[in-house]
Amino acid sequence: MTTDTDPITLQDAAQHFGFTVLTLRAEAGRGRLTIYKIGRRYYTTPGDIREMVTKCRVDQKARDFTSIRNARSGPSETARSESALAAANETVQRLKNISRNTSGRSMTPNQRARQ
């Protein structure tokens, strides 16, 4: 029985953990697996394999949508979204009224006639 620190060949590690020798060598090349060369053979340890698996963990992708799970679409939800839309439209109208038309000042009457 081997412990986490006992060296095992890459071939044995691949068979035991379900990888190929090529995958283990590639991960060693990427710096995610520690391997040892003793004589002509390459070795690693079960602990190093477990550490490699942790390093290779992929973060879960965030959801692409913003709907709320188990949210109910009832009268209060509709009123809330209508209220938010009305507030947004009011803000847009206020900004449009505050904004001055600058195109009339930047063009002379002759330039406006040519367009």
Of the candidates 51, 34, 53, 46, which has an alpha carbon nearest to the alpha carbon of residue 8? 46
**Side-chain half-sphere exposure of 58, counting CA atoms within 13 A:** 3
pLDDT tens figures, 68-79: 555 555 666 667
The rounded distance, in Å, linking the Cα atoms of 47 and 5 is 6
pLDDT tens figures, 19-61: 999 999 999 999 999 999 999 999 999 999 999 999 988 888 7
Of the candidates 89, 85, 10, which has an alpha carbon nearest to the alpha carbon of residue 52? 10
Place of tokens 């963990």: 57
pLDDT tens figures, 10-19: 999 999 999 9
